[in-house]
Each structure stands twice: as C-alpha cells, then as structure tokens.
C-alpha cells in the first residue's frame, strides 16, 4: 500500500489511477482508528531511514497528506517530556516545515532532552534555524551537540552559511566557541581582528580555538599579541602559541623563542620553543648534550695515516699452511685459480710467514694476561712475551681497526681426521661419590665400588660431604636403635645426706594430720585428686605417708615433693616397649599443696591486718568473737582498737536513717559556672526543682554574691510555695511544667475566691441496667432532662457563680 502511494505516477494508466484513488479512500478509512494511525506512522518512520531522493520526499508528503503530522503536533502539547521529545523527533525526521515555529520555542526550555531535540530540529527544519539558535540560546552547548549540529549543516544541500563572526561577541561563551569552530570549518577568514582579540579571552577553550583559527587563516598580525599573552597562559596554550609562532613567525621571533627556552620551567615548552626555532631557522639549534668529543673529532682518515706501504702476498708462497721463505716455483699443489694477490697493510697486522702455524694442534693456549695501558693521547702497542709459547709476534695499536685479511682458502688445509683421532685419545675420568663415614651403631653394608673407579679420594670427599643427611633403611635403623639406647636415669630424686632447709615451697598435709591452732576460723580446702579410673586414693595416701615418714626422719623439710618415681619408671618402660605392649595404667595423683606452718599468733596478726585494711562495721561481730577468745594481750588490744575505729567511722559517716544524701543537679553545675550562668540556672530551679533544691537554695543564701543570695531567697520562697501546693493538690507526674503552673494558679484562685473544686466526674462510671419497663416517651424525656440538668448544675453552676464571685470580690 505504501509502495503504491510512493511510486504512483501521474502518467500511469487509468486502471492504476483508479486503483490509487481506491487505495486512498481505503487508507483514510483505516486511519480513523488510532492503532492503524500509529502503525502507519511507524512504517513511514522506518522507511524514511532507508530511502532517499524523490522517494523520501514523497514519503514526507504522504505523511503530511494523511494527517499523521497532527498526531506529532498533539504530542508537543503533552506534559510528559518523553512524549514531547518524540513528537519533536517525528516532525524533524519527516521534515514538516510547519513545525518550525512551534519547535523553536523549546530551545530554552529547562528540560535538557527537549531542549537538545529542539536545537537539532531548529537547525534541521530551516537553513536559517542555526541563526535563530545561536541568537537565542542561553544554555550550554555541549561538544556532542555541536558535532550533531555541524553534521546537520554539513548535510544540507545548497546551504549558505551565515557570517559566524557575528556571534563572536555573544554573551554565551559556548556560542562564541561554536561560532569559531563554524568559521574555521567554513573557512571564514574575514574576522581576523576579532579572532586575534579572542585570544585574550578568559576561557581556555576559546583561546585554543582562536589560536587554531589564527594558524589556519595564517593571521600573521596575531603573532605579537600571542607573544604578549604567552607568559600568563597554561602549558597547553603555551604550546599552541609556540606552534603558531613556529608556523607564522619570522627570524625576529627567534629571540622570543630563545627567551622561552631559557626561562620557562616546563621541559615540554622549552623543547617546543627549540623546535620552533629550528622551524623558523632550520638547523640553528643543534643537540649538544651527551655528545662524545672523541667521536666528534674522529675521522676515518686517521687509519690511513699509519699504513703507508702495502705488501703483496702471492698465493704461490703459501704451501701446506706454511709460508715459504724463498720464492720457489710451486706448480704442483697450487691451482691456477688461487693466483690471487692479497694486500696486507704494514704495521697493523703483519703476520710473518714464518710464524704461521700449520697444525692446529700445535697451537697452545695463551695463558698470560694482557693488560694494556690505555692512553687516549698516545698510541700503545701490545707485546706478547716469548714465554707465552706463541709464535705470533705482532704489534698492534689499540686504536686501530680490526685486522682485515682476505680469504685464504687455498692456503690452509686443515685435516679434520687428524683432529678426530686426537679427540678420541683424550682420557675421561669418571668419579663416584661414596659415603664411607657411617655411624658405628648402624653398620650399614657398603656396596663395593665398580672396577676401574678410583676411590682414593673418598676420605677427602667424606670430609666435604659431612653436612649431607644420611638416608638409611627403616628396618636396620629400628633394630639398632633399641639396642643402643642408653639407659635412662630413674626419675627419683636422691637427696644428699646433708640437711637441706627448703621452706619456701608449699606442701599438702592430710586432714588428719592438720592441727589448726587458730580456732574459730573455718578454713575450707579440698584435696585435688586426679580423675583417673584406675587410681585409688588409698594407695596414694599410703605412699605419701611412707615418703613423709622417711623424709621427716632424716630431713627437716617443709615440703615433700611427691614424685611417683615408680610410676614414672613404669611409664618410661612402657614407652620403650613397642606399640604392641599395652601401657599399664599408673596411679596418677596430683600431690597436695603444702603450706608452711604458721603459729596462731602470726595467723591472728595477718587476719587482723586484713580486717583493718579491708573491713568495715560488718566485721564488728567477728572482732567481738575474736576478742572473747583472744589470749594474747597485744592482739586483744589491737582488736579493741580496730573495733573502736570501726565504731567511730560508723557514727560519723553513715546516718542512722538509711536514706542517702539528696543529690542536687544544680550543685555540681554551680561549682563550674560563672555568676551569670548561675543566675540563669537559678531561674530554672523553680520550674524543675523540688525538695532537694530547697536545701541547695538554703546553702546559697549565705553566698558572697548579693545577686545570688537575693535571688536564692526569692526562689526559695517560690519553691516552698510550690512544694506546699504540690502537697495540697496531688499532681500526677505526667503533667508538664505548664500544666503545673496552671494548676498552681488555679488553686490560688480557688483559695482566694473560696471556691471548692468540684468532685471529679468520672464519665465512664455509668451504671445502668436495661429494664423491661418501657417508659413512656414523656417520662423518658423528663428523666433525661433531669440528668442533664443535674450535670449542668454541678459544672455550669461553678462557672456561672465564678463571675459573680469575682465581682463580689472587687466590690469587697
């Protein structure tokens, strides 16, 4: 259908015309439905991307003819930004010229998407749209937007660009920048002065663009202003300026560039300046850093100075790698082809014929070190000593070039076979490293060495390899270890016969043996017994008693280290046995701690010390008991002193009533604050304070500051009144301060006016029961009225009488 419309020609046949008209009618019927309209416009919108030329124009015309542009116009009126944006896009793509007037109003809209769409549309729909846009836009023009606009302008057919210099004076810096770029693109070089002036703009982008325009348009007059602004610019701008000076500058500008190269701190700028100098005056600046003076002064002709004569060596003189001394006729061995003349310079690489070595085997390695003394100025020669067994004696200079020898193919004939035989004759020694030093206990068998291996150096090797670990079979090792293990000492501690006094270690004494001299003290202690199934306390005790008895006979020890030597021996033996042997369970008992014996007196002293330091009145009863049972006078005196001390403390510090001292918040703050702050705090006391503050205010009455004392007196009265009121009228805690004030005033008024407050009416305590009787309407109404009246009497009567009472009061 679309194709029919697009490719219909006026010159078509009658049938085709009829068909075309029918299609038109049909399509108008279809387009009455919005879905079809939307579909059709989508189809046209997709097609317009793929076609061009006359077909595209027809497509646009069809779009308008079918009234589909009205839908797009309707979208412009929407309050949704994406709908508006889509409408603008459709009208732009379909190139509806009538939409220009509507769309250009959106150029300065707040919504960015709509604004950008409108900018493109304005530039697209009409050629002069770009003018309007640059004139009216007040918003920023992004780089991308500028590119898109430029792309639109580029694709215009027969586009006559305006003079963009008009916008160089715009207030919008993006407009100035875009105008510069358009001027550069369209090569509008009739605004040189303006462009030169724009170099002084604050915006770096505009500066950059202006400098590029200057360079593009070859504005030579701008070089001087560029030099003037150079020192105040950023590095990038400086580089651009230097580039412009390089392309536009003359020799007079070299001075400036040299100044820049010397003065500027940035290396890039310096090097750019030098490059600019070289551009203006080529090769005026040469590299100097890192230049080797020797190489700078060297010449290839120096080599030629030493070689004045040349010798000619005839191949005939060389036979079997030996240079013949005499010139003899040699015709048998030398072929005609080898009749070449060889040129060797003298002095540099003179190789005497006699010295040429025919056989490679005769060449011996030169082992002497060569240490030439290098002197830059003088030439030195290296002399090989005769003891080096070399037959090569020649003099060379260090600075000389390498020896150049022509190919001597037919002079030396090396016999390879001889060399191979000699190589085979070289004896090779194979050595095997063996360990001979094995531990005596292990007695490992040593494998016999192979025949032909010399083991005379084994001893030395062993010494060197003693650090290596020895790897031995497990079987031999395990068997040997058991046999060779040294006997372990028993763990029984044997004491000497000398008496040893060790009284610093604790000892544990059985309960039975304990004789507690300090009576009245209940000291509780428990024995620690190991939780072992097979251990029995009886055996432990027996052993302990044995040990104790033994030791007490001979030694005066205060401790008995109970070590289960027998058990430990058993353990060791168990360990030594193999895993197959079961370990016998030993009675493992933790020895009891043993404390040194203290006399009663000492214990009592210690106890009294502790009580005096840590105790208080609660220990009085204990002290009384101790006093009753005390035998020593000094101890009883001490107990009495402690009691007295405790009693004195109790009387002075702790009041009989167990109430704690009242804590006043303001008291702590008053210590820190100054006078003004104190006065402000005092204002709050009445509002917040209670009984505690009364005491505090009482203390403030004696304050040195008159203001504080007077204010404290005043506030004290107020607070006391408040407390009185509170006591009279129970106020709930949930009430606020303002409520309290209101209630205070209310109560005062009530008191003054001698009005009794009405009893609180609890509206929710309504007791009623449904009765079977149905009261007549009149009676029920009467009852209701009476109830109302009763309520009103109590509440309203008070209010009503209130005014009367005030009047009476005034009237006396």
Partner 1 sequence: MLEKKKLLLAEDDELLASLLNFRLQKGGYDVTLSRDGKEVKESLALAIPDIIVSDIMMPYFSGIELIDFIRNDLKLNIPIIIISSAGNEDNVLSAFELGANDFISKPVNPSELLVRVAREMNKM
> In terms of CB distance, is 2 or 357 closer to partner 1?
2
Q: Are 123 and 152 in contact (CB under 8 A)?
A: yes
Q: How far is CA 13 from CA 6, 17, 148, in A?
A: 16, 6, 45
Give the x-and-dash track for 693-722 against partner 1 (CB under 8 A): ------------------------------
Give the x-and-dash track for 453-492 against partner 1 (CB under 8 A): ----------------------------------------
**Minimum distance from CB of 151 to partner 1 (Å)?**
12
Q: How many CA atoms lie within 13 A of 512 on its CB side?
A: 2
Question: Does position 47 bind partner 1 by CB under 8 A?
Answer: yes
Q: Are 263 and 272 in contact (CB under 8 A)?
A: no
Strands 318-319 and 322-323: antiparallel
Question: Does position 2 bind partner 1 by CB under 8 A?
Answer: yes
Question: Does position 636 bind partner 1 by CB under 8 A?
Answer: no
- What does the block give as tokens for 194? 């303006």
CA nearest 513: which of 560, 470, 473, 472? Answer: 560
Question: Does position 52 bind partner 1 by CB under 8 A?
Answer: yes
CA nearest 242: which of 199, 277, 205? Answer: 277
> In terms of CB distance, is 2 or 31 closer to partner 1?
2
Helices 54-65 and 34-50 sit at what angle, rounded to 10 degrees?
160
Positions of E strands within 376-509:
none
According to DSSP, residue 360 is labeled: G
- What does the block give as tokens for 321? 């790698």
Segment lying near partner 1 (by CB under 8 A), choices 52-60, 236-244, 346-354, 515-523:
52-60
**Minimum distance from CB of 238 to partner 1 (Å)?**
38
Alpha-carbon distance of 779 to 367, in angstroms, equals: 151
Q: At a CB cut-off of 8 Å and minimum separation 6, what does 135 contact?
A: none
Alpha-carbon distance of 571 to 591, in angstroms, equals: 18
CA nearest 41: which of 94, 106, 80? Answer: 94
Question: Does position 4 bind partner 1 by CB under 8 A?
Answer: yes
> In terms of CB distance, is 56 or 388 closer to partner 1?
56
Q: Are 692 and 663 in contact (CB under 8 A)?
A: yes
**Minimum distance from CB of 82 to partner 1 (Å)?**
25
> Coil, strand or helix: which one is 185?
helix
Question: Does position 49 bind partner 1 by CB under 8 A?
Answer: yes
Residues in the chain: 812
Find the angle CA(408)-CA(411)-CA(415) to the nearest 5 degrees: 115
Helices 706-728 and 675-688 sit at what angle, rounded to 10 degrees?
10
Segment lying near partner 1 (by CB under 8 A), choices 47-55, 140-148, 637-645, 702-710:
47-55
**Minimum distance from CB of 99 to partner 1 (Å)?**
22
Question: Does position 54 bind partner 1 by CB under 8 A?
Answer: yes
Q: How many CA atoms lie within 13 A of 568 on its CB side?
A: 11
Sign of CA dihedral 701, 702, 708, 709: positive
> In terms of CB distance, is 90 or 544 closer to partner 1?
90
Segment lying near partner 1 (by CB under 8 A), choices 2-10, 113-121, 124-132, 706-714:
2-10
The owner of tokens 């407390």 is 723
**Minimum distance from CB of 144 to partner 1 (Å)?**
19
Question: Does position 36 bind partner 1 by CB under 8 A?
Answer: no
Alpha-carbon distance of 670 to 708, in angstroms, equals: 11
Alpha-carbon distance of 728 to 722, in angstroms, equals: 10
Question: Does position 53 bind partner 1 by CB under 8 A?
Answer: yes
**Minimum distance from CB of 43 to partner 1 (Å)?**
7
Question: Does position 46 bind partner 1 by CB under 8 A?
Answer: yes
Element (H, E) at 443: none
**Minimum distance from CB of 15 to partner 1 (Å)?**
14
Question: Does position 55 bind partner 1 by CB under 8 A?
Answer: yes
Segment lying near partner 1 (by CB under 8 A), choices 1-9, 139-147, 404-412, 801-809:
1-9
Q: How far is CA 232 from CA 220, 222, 226, 396, in A?
A: 21, 16, 11, 64
Alpha-carbon distance of 212 to 219, in angstroms, equals: 10
> Coil, strand or helix: which one is 740?
helix
Q: Where are the alpha helices (H) located in 230-298, listed in sequence order?
A: 235-248, 254-263, 267-280, 293-297
Find the angle CA(258)-CA(262)-CA(268) to the nearest 5 degrees: 90
> In terms of CB distance, is 1 or 749 closer to partner 1?
1
Q: Quick one: which of 7, 156, 231, 495 contacts partner 1 (CB under 8 A)?
A: 7
**Minimum distance from CB of 39 to partner 1 (Å)?**
12
Find the angle CA(646)-CA(652)-CA(657) to the nearest 5 degrees: 105
> In terms of CB distance, is 47 or 102 closer to partner 1?
47
Segment lying near partner 1 (by CB under 8 A), choices 44-52, 66-74, 282-290, 512-520:
44-52
> In terms of CB distance, is 52 or 640 closer to partner 1?
52
**Minimum distance from CB of 266 to partner 1 (Å)?**
41
# of chain residues touching partner 1 (CB under 8 A): 16
Q: Quick one: which of 43, 453, 687, 724 contacts partner 1 (CB under 8 A)?
A: 43
**Minimum distance from CB of 340 to partner 1 (Å)?**
56
**Minimum distance from CB of 23 to partner 1 (Å)?**
13
**Minimum distance from CB of 24 to partner 1 (Å)?**
17
**Minimum distance from CB of 11 to partner 1 (Å)?**
12
**Minimum distance from CB of 94 to partner 1 (Å)?**
14
Segment lying near partner 1 (by CB under 8 A), choices 53-61, 241-249, 552-560, 720-728:
53-61
Give the x-and-dash track for 402-441 against partner 1 (CB under 8 A): ----------------------------------------
Question: Does position 50 bind partner 1 by CB under 8 A?
Answer: yes
Question: Does position 56 bind partner 1 by CB under 8 A?
Answer: yes
Q: Are 695 and 662 in contact (CB under 8 A)?
A: yes
Alpha-carbon distance of 118 to 76, in angstroms, equals: 11
Q: Are 192 and 221 in contact (CB under 8 A)?
A: yes
Question: Does position 6 bind partner 1 by CB under 8 A?
Answer: yes
> In terms of CB distance, is 147 or 311 closer to partner 1?
147
Question: Does position 17 bind partner 1 by CB under 8 A?
Answer: no
**Minimum distance from CB of 148 to partner 1 (Å)?**
16
Residues within the interface to partner 1 (CB under 8 A): 2-4, 6-7, 43, 46-47, 49-56
């Amino acid at each position: 259908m679309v194709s029919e419309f697009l490719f219909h020609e006026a010159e078509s046949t009658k049938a085709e015309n009829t068909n075309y008209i029918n299609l038109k009618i049909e399509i108008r019927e279809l387009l009455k439905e919005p879905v079809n309209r939307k579909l059709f416009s989508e189809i046209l919108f997709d097609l317009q991307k793929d076609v061009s030329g006359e077909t595209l124009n027809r497509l646009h015309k069809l779009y308008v003819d079918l009234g589909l542009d009205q839908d797009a116009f309707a979208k412009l009126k929407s309050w949704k930004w994406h709908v508006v944006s889509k409408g603008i896009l459709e009208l732009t793509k379909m190139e509806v010229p009538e939409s220009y007037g509507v769309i250009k109003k959106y150029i300065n809209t707040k919504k960015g998407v709509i604004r950008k769409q409108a900018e493109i549309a304005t530039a697209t729909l009409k050629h002069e749209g770009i003018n309007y846009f640059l004139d009216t836009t007040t918003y920023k023009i992004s780089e991308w937007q500028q590119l898109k606009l430029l792309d639109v302008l580029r694709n215009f057919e027969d586009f006559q660009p305006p003079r963009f210099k008009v916008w160089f004076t715009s207030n919008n810096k993006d407009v100035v920048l875009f105008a510069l770029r358009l001027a550069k693109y369209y090569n509008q070089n009739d605004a040189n002065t303006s462009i030169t002036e724009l170099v002084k703009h604050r915006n770096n982008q505009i500066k950059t663009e202006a400098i590029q325009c200057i360079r593009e348009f070859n504005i030579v007059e701008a070089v001087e202003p560029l030099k003037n602004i150079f020192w105040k610019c950023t590095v990038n701008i400086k580089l651009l300026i230097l580039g412009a000076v390089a392309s536009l500058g003359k020799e007079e500008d070299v001075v400036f560039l040299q100044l820049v190269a010397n003065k500027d701190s940035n290396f890039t700028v310096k090097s750019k300046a030098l490059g600019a100098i070289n551009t203006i005056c080529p090769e005026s600046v040469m590299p100097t850093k890192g230049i080797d003076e020797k190489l700078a002064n060297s010449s290839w002709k120096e080599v030629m100075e030493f070689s004045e004569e040349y010798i000619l060596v005839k191949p005939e003189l060389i036979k079997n790698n030996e240079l013949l001394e005499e010139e003899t006729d040699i015709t048998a061995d030398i072929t005609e082809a080898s009749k070449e003349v060889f040129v060797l310079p003298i002095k540099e690489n003179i190789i005497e014929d006699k010295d040429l070595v025919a056989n490679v085997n005769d060449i011996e390695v030169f082992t002497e070190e060569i240490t030439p003394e290098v002197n830059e100025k003088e030439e030195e020669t290296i002399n090989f000593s005769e003891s080096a067994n070399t037959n090569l004696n020649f003099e060379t200079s260090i600075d000389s070039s390498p020896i150049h020898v022509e190919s001597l193919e037919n002079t030396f004939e090396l016999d390879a076979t001889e060399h191979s035989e000699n190589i085979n004759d070289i004896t090779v020694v194979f050595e095997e490293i063996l360990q001979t030093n094995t531990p005596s206990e292990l007695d490992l068998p040593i494998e016999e060495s192979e025949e032909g291996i010399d083991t005379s150096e084994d001893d030395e090797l062993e010494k060197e390899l003693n650090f290596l670990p020895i790897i031995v079979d497990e079987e031999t090792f395990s068997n040997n270890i058991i046999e060779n293990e040294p006997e372990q000492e028993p763990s029984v501690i044997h004491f000497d016969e000398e008496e040893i006094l060790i009284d610093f270690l604790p000892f544990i004494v059985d309960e039975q043996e304990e004789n507690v001299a300090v009576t009245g003290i209940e000291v509780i202690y428990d024995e620690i017994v190991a939780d072992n199934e097979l251990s029995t306390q009886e055996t432990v005790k027996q052993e302990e008693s044995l040990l104790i008895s033994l030791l007490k006979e001979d030694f005066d020890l205060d401790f008995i280290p109970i070590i289960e030597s027998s058990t430990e021996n058993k353990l060791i033996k168990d360990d030594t046995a193999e895993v197959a042997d079961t370990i016998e369970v030993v009675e493992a008992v933790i020895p009891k701690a043993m404390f040194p014996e203290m006399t009663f007196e000492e214990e009592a002293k210690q106890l009294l010390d502790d009580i005096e330091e840590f105790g208080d009145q609660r220990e009085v009863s204990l002290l009384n008991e101790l006093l009753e049972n005390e035998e020593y006078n000094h101890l009883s005196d001490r107990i009495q002193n402690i009691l007295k001390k405790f009693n004195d403390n109790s009387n002075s510090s702790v009041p009989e009533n167990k109430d704690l001292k009242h804590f006043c918040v303001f008291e702590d703050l008053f210590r820190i604050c100054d006078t003004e702050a104190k006065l402000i705090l005092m204002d709050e006391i009445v509002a917040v304070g209670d009984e505690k503050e009364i005491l505090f205010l009482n203390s403030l009455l004696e304050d040195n500051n008159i203001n504080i004392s007077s204010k404290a007196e005043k506030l004290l009265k107020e607070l006391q009144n408040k407390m009185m009121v509170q006591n009279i009228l129970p106020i709930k805690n949930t009430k606020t301060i303002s409520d309290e004030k209101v209630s205070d005033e209310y109560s005062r008024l009530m008191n003054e006016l001698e009005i009794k407050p009405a009893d609180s009416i609890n509206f929710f305590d309504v007791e009623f029961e449904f009765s079977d009787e149905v009261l007549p309407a009149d009676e029920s109404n009467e009852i209701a009225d009476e109830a109302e009246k009763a309520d009103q009497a109590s509440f309203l009567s008070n209010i009503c009488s209130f005014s009367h009472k005030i009047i009476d009061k005034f009237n006396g």
